[in-house]
């Protein structure tokens, strides 16, 4: 049975996805063989829209079966959305590795709230691996931020 919180959150993510699509269209897209800064955000935003619409449709069909109201379940998705907003604002200043480590750590801690060492190691590993993959191997320019000159 779907809860009304699922309906509200999926509707929120549909709107969020449209905002992300609009923002990514402001950047040059390039082509699949030569992607530019807006290409990957557009693909991810379209995927988010598809998943959010599917979840909204599922929640809408089953919303009549539940009388639950939006309670404590909003905190995790709201924390992730706030984290993504902070990430997008600080990415250029902090740089990809530091900002992505922070966002990854937030997401891991939301879903696995025990301990700090393991999530921190995973967050750093994900950030460094994705930086090497995209910046060095695929030659996608990612912001160095505070680590400029060290990378």
Q: Walk along the chain (151 residues) and give the pLDDT tens digit of each residue.
A: 446 677 778 888 888 888 888 888 888 888 888 888 888 888 998 988 888 888 888 877 776 555 444 555 677 888 888 888 899 899 889 999 999 999 999 989 888 878 889 899 999 999 999 999 988 888 888 888 888 878 7
- The domain boundary, picked from 35, 69, 103, lies at 69
Please check whether residues 41 and 100 belong to one and the same domain. Answer: no
Please check whether residues 57 and 75 belong to one and the same domain. Answer: no
Please check whether residues 40 and 114 belong to one and the same domain. Answer: no
Domain count, the chain: 2
- The helices-and-strands tally (H runs, E runs) of the chain is 5, 0
Please check whether residues 61 and 23 belong to one and the same domain. Answer: yes
Please check whether residues 37 and 87 belong to one and the same domain. Answer: no
Domain that holds residue 37: 1-69
Q: Which tokens belong to 37?
A: 């800064």
Rounded to 10°, the helix 96-111/75-94 angle is 170
- Cα 147 to Cα 91, 94, 119, 143: the distances in Å are 12, 8, 22, 9
Please check whether residues 80 and 145 belong to one and the same domain. Answer: yes
Please check whether residues 63 and 4 belong to one and the same domain. Answer: yes
Query: Rounded to the nearest 5 degrees, what angle is found at the Cα of 7, between the Cα atoms of 26 and 4?
Result: 150
Beta bridge partners of 30: 35
Please check whether residues 81 and 149 belong to one and the same domain. Answer: yes
Please check whether residues 16 and 62 belong to one and the same domain. Answer: yes
- Cα 39 to Cα 32, 50, 72: the distances in Å are 8, 17, 35
């Amino acid at each position: 049975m779907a809860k009304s919180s699922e309906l509200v959150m999926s509707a929120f993510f549909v709107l969020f996805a449209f905002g992300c699509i609009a923002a990514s269209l402001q950047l040059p897209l390039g082509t699949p063989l030569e992607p530019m800064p807006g290409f990957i955000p557009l693909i991810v935003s379209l995927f988010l829209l598809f998943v959010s619409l599917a979840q909204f449709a599922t929640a809408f069909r089953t919303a009549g079966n539940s009388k639950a109201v939006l309670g404590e379940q909003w905190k995790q998705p709201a924390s992730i959305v706030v984290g993504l907003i902070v990430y997008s604002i600080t990415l250029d200043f902090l740089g990809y590795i530091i900002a992505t480590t922070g966002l990854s750590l937030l997401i891991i801690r939301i879903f696995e709230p025990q301990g700090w060492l393991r999530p921190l190691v995973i967050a750093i590993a994900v950030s460094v691996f994705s930086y090497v993959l995209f910046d060095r191997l695929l030659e996608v320019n990612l912001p160095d931020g505070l680590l400029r000159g060290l990378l």
